Amino acid sequence: MGDFVCETLEVNPAGHLSVGGCDCLDLAREFGTPLYVMDEMAVRANCRAFRQAVETCYGAGGKVIYASKALCTKAILSIMHQEGIGVDVVSGGELATALAAGVPADTLMYHGNFKTLAEIRQGLAAGVGRFVVDNRLELDQLSGLCEETGRKADVLFRVKPGIDAHTHDYVLTGQIDSKFGVALENGEALDILRDAWDRPGIRVRGIHCHIGSQIFEVEPFVQTVRVMLGLMDEFRQATGKVLEELNLGGGFGIRYVDEHRPLPPARFMEACAAEIRRFCSERDFPMPFVAIEPGRAMVAAAGITLYTVGSVKTIPGIRTYVAVDGGMFENPRYALYGSPYDAVLAAAPLAERVRPVTIAGKCCESGDLIQEHLPMPGVRPGDIMAVMATGAYNYSMAGNYNRNPRPAMVLCREGRARVIVRRETYENLLERDEIPDDLAP
């Protein structure tokens, strides 16, 4: 193992960076750049770590669901299914991908704050395992469609537990101001549960929440458990009915840079499970079925992006810009969130980092940066650069700004690289454009 933020990366005997036994210089040569590279065994190891943690804590009373928004391709979803992981989808597109990957519909969770009527219909027709209903309009539409079609829907409700995992002391305020789900404070959550219970076609299974992303601490999850179980207990007291399922969402942090110290999944699970057991025995409440929904933690550190370096522009006294052949169109995370990333040169991944550089993309926009002030070895045009931990929310958030074709993705395992997403071509970019007759060239 090399000393990299992505722990499964290695330095091969040639001294080059290698992923799943594949030399990154060979990958760049064979498949071109920019190139998303996924390490299959690293994805599987993440699946197994989460599954094992959930099994240890809950036995058959728990499940891991992969949040496919992090990285949604047929091959990746098929791996998840092989590893015994369910899949969360939030759109007709993610649903179609999961079904095309052979993921059984009954292992799917259908999320989203706005499912169009067509999307609800598709989910119902496919027979998705759970609808996570966000609001009353959606409940009305879903129950209406159930009546119309004679189908039944198993439903969780998205609740805002009021935990802000990104403030220092995880205050229980502010989160009522969120577009997702129903609030606790004003009784909205309790109301929608009562309302849904007796509707024909709707089977109310439980409640769901998601408190944020890239979280390193256990405490906000434990507080969330308390709040969510509190609602389940309140509902039982008010109605005598029992909600059986608690879905705690995702949000488990990963290591993008050296300073990040993510906890192993087991630590989150153990702390939540202990709190759930304590609560249930104190209140004589039946143990709920518990689901979690990691996205980032399943795939981020299993991926890197390879780039070819173009110009290296040193502005004396200011900074050095290293241009790469990608940018915000295939990794918008620095432009959007200022997210930290580490990078190395594929030919000399352990070379001494001698000066800070700013890695810039090729889009026509000053903010099109991959990272700023990152210490790197001397970089020259033509070098292959690897940006680490790009497996989540890169390809899935990519676009075509400046008509840049999206990169290919390869899946590496035991020295074999297989294309799982083909590189977009100019034909792909042009194929949906139409020219009205009066504008034809």
Give the residue numbers marked as catalytic. Answer: 364
Question: How crowded is residue 226: how many other Cβ atoms within 10 Å of its Cβ?
Answer: 15
Compute the radius of gyration of the chain from its Cα atoms. Answer: 23
Query: CB of 32 within 8 A of CB of 408?
Result: yes
Q: What is the dihedral of CA 274, 275, 278, 283, to 10 degrees?
A: -150
Binding to ligand LLP in span 59-78, by CB under 6 A: 67, 69-70
CA proximity to 30, closest of 329, 311, 423: 423
Q: Could you tell me which residues come within 8 angstroms of residue 247 by beta carbon, excluding any fewer than 6 positions away? A: 65, 109, 132, 156, 206, 207, 208, 209, 290, 291, 292, 293
With CB under 6 A as the contact rule, the residue among 294, 326, 349, 391 that binds ligand LLP is: 294
Which residues on adjacent β-strands are paired with residue 160? 183
For residue 316 the two structure tokens come to 């004396």
Q: Considering the complex, what minimum distance in angstroms separates the CB of residue 432 from ligand LLP?
A: 26
CB of 429 to ligand LLP, least distance (A): 24
Stretch that binds ligand LLP, among 92-100, 114-122, 250-258, 381-389 (CB under 6 A): 250-258
Q: Are 45 and 70 in contact (CB under 8 A)?
A: no
Candidate residues 161, 249, 262, 265; the one interacting with ligand LLP per rule CB under 6 A: 249
Torsion of CA 259, 264, 265, 269, to 10 degrees: -110
Query: For ligand LLP, how many residues bind (rule: CB under 6 A)?
Result: 18
Q: Is 262 in the site for ligand LLP (CB under 6 A)?
A: no
- CB of 367 vs ligand LLP, minimal distance in Å: 16
User: Regarding beta strands 17-19 and 10-11, do their DSSP bridges make them parallel or antiparallel, or are they unpaired?
Assistant: antiparallel
Nearest approach, Cβ of 1 to ligand LLP (angstroms)?
24
| 108/85 Cα distance (integer angstroms) | 10
Cis, bond preceding 286 (omega within 30 deg of 0) = no
Of 130, 160, 199, 210, the one binding ligand LLP by CB under 6 A: 210
3-state secondary structure of 55: helix
Binding segment for ligand LLP among 19-27, 165-173, 243-251, 365-373 (CB under 6 A)?
Answer: 243-251
The correct pick among 181, 201, 206, 251 for binding ligand LLP (CB under 6 A) is 251
Q: Which residue from 16, 205, 255, 333 is in contact with ligand LLP, where contact means CB under 6 A? A: 333
Residue 69 or 160 having the CB closest to ligand LLP: 69
Residue 275's CB is within 10 A of a number of other CB atoms, namely 18
Among residues 297 and 388, whose Cβ is nearest to ligand LLP? 297
Q: Which two tokens stand for residue 291?
A: 């689901």
The closest of 89, 151, 77, 94 to 121, measured between CA atoms, is 151
Rounded to the nearest whole angstrom, what is the least distance from the CB of residue 132 to ligand LLP in the complex?
7
- Minimum CB separation from ligand LLP for residue 398, in Å? 12
With binding defined as CB under 6 A, does residue 228 bind ligand LLP? Answer: no
| Under rule CB under 6 A, residue 295 binds ligand LLP | yes
Residue 210 Cβ vs ligand LLP, minimum distance, rounded to whole Å:
4
Q: Which listed range, 2-10, 92-100, 268-276, 289-297, lies at the site for ligand LLP (CB under 6 A)?
A: 289-297
Say whether residue 213 binds ligand LLP (CB under 6 A).
yes
Report how far apart, in Å, the C-alpha atoms of 241 and of each of 134, 185, 232 are.
21, 21, 9
Q: Interface with ligand LLP includes 329 (CB under 6 A)?
A: no
Shortest gap between Cβ of 119 and ligand LLP (angstroms)? 16
Q: Is 250 in the site for ligand LLP (CB under 6 A)?
A: yes
296 lies in the site for ligand LLP, by CB under 6 A: yes
Query: Measured from the CB atom, is 16 or 296 closer to ligand LLP?
Result: 296
Q: How far is CA 102 from CA 108, 109, 153, 205, 257, in A?
A: 11, 15, 21, 25, 35
**Residue 157 touches ligand LLP, criterion: CB under 6 A:** no
Compare residues 49 and 419 and give the one whose CB is closer to ligand LLP.
49
When asked if residue 297 is in the footprint of ligand LLP (CB under 6 A), the reply is yes
Site string for ligand LLP, 88-107 (x = CB under 6 A): x-------------------
Of 16 and 111, CB closest to ligand LLP: 111
Beta partners for residue 155, in sequence order: 131, 204
Interface segment toward ligand LLP; rule CB under 6 A; list 190-198, 245-253, 318-326, 402-410: 245-253
Told to check if 393 binds ligand LLP by CB under 6 A, we report: yes
DSSP secondary structure of 162-196: ---TTSTT--S-STTS-SSSEESTTSHHHHHHHHH
8-state DSSP, 406? P
Token match 């033509």: residue? 382
Residue 198, both tokens:
């007796």
Q: Shortest Cβ distance from residue 387 to ligand LLP (Å)?
A: 14
Interface residue list for ligand LLP (CB under 6 A): 67, 69-70, 88, 111, 210, 213, 249-252, 293-297, 333, 393
